[in-house]
Amino acid sequence: MNYEKLTDAVAMAATTTGSWLKELTGKIHEDLITTKGRMDFVTEIDKESEKRLIHDLSMILPEAGFIAEEGTETRRGKDFNWIIDPIDGTTNFIHGVFPFSISIGLMENKEMVSGVIYDPLHGECFYASKGSQSMLNGKPIRVSQRTHLGEALLATGFPYNDFSLLSPYMDSMVELMSCTHGIRRLGSAAMDLAFVACGRYDAFWEYHLKPWDVAAGTLIIKQAGGMVSDFYGGEDYLFGETFVATNGRIQSEFLAILNKHFGTGIESR
């Protein structure tokens, strides 16, 4: 399979639906919003965005199944599955706040082979395919070259309905705030990962993420020279709900601080 050509088609699908979303920004009425859980919102626009993406992606790779946030399509493929977030950052979208994004990953068996993250408001499309360099609007991107946490700018996301790890999370944030250039919180994990991939951020961490939040970003970061793991340095990051991404150069130093607050994870592996 030509993964690069396939990814170009995925990027086109993302930008087409993204252009439609851009036109709706700031125009969401309350009657279009429903609640999936405390501080967990979905709009009719999320569902329509997902349906549009599923239609286009089904044309690109008909045999693939779907793991999609809003569940408008649930069939699974034998070898290939798209992992989709039709609007990553729905709360931002509802309020007309930057950023929100579309995130699309393609998993072949258990390996990510294509990833696209599109920011409709700024027209930035981050993408990568198996065996190729990560790109931003046709230009190669790389993770940052910083080698120490003291030089790093970090990103994270705040828990909104799972507070089971809130105490160690807050403790880790306090320590990391005091020894870095600072911490940012955009409200779209997919965009955070894209920013790590292109060197705007040096690291990102968050818990209780879902596969559609990170699937595309994992490949884009790896193909840009970075590293991803769970909080304990392991490989259970796609479905395990703890996620770390770094430029690779500060991975050990970063994980050491997380392990101090969250434990090593040995007891759970």
**Catalytic-role residue among 69, 192, 230, 241:** 69
- 45 catalytic? Reply is no
- 119 catalytic? Reply is no
- 87 catalytic? Reply is yes
Integer Cα distance of 89 and 185 in angstroms = 11
Residue pair 116/9 in contact (Cβ under 8 Å)? The answer is no
**Catalytic-role residue among 88, 119, 192, 241:** 88
Buried b (16+ CB within 10 A) or exposed e, 205-241: bbbbbbbbbbbbbbbbbbbbbbbbbbbbbeebbbebb
Q: What is the dihedral of CA 91, 173, 119, 247, to 10 degrees?
A: -160
Going by their DSSP bridges, the two strands 154-156 and 203-207 should be labelled as: parallel
Integer Cα distance of 141 and 127 in angstroms = 10
- 88 catalytic? Reply is yes
**Catalytic-role residue among 48, 50, 70, 85:** 85
Residue pair 121/81 in contact (Cβ under 8 Å)? The answer is no
**Catalytic-role residue among 46, 73, 119, 213:** 213
What separation in angstroms does the CA of 269 have from each of 113, 235, 258?
A: 26, 11, 17
**Catalytic-role residue among 7, 17, 43, 90:** 90
**Cβ neighbours of residue 214 under 8 Å, at least 6 residues apart?**
189, 190, 193, 228, 237, 238, 243
Integer Cα distance of 54 and 16 in angstroms = 13
**Cβ neighbours of residue 163 under 8 Å, at least 6 residues apart?**
none
Residues designated catalytic: 69, 85, 87-88, 90, 213
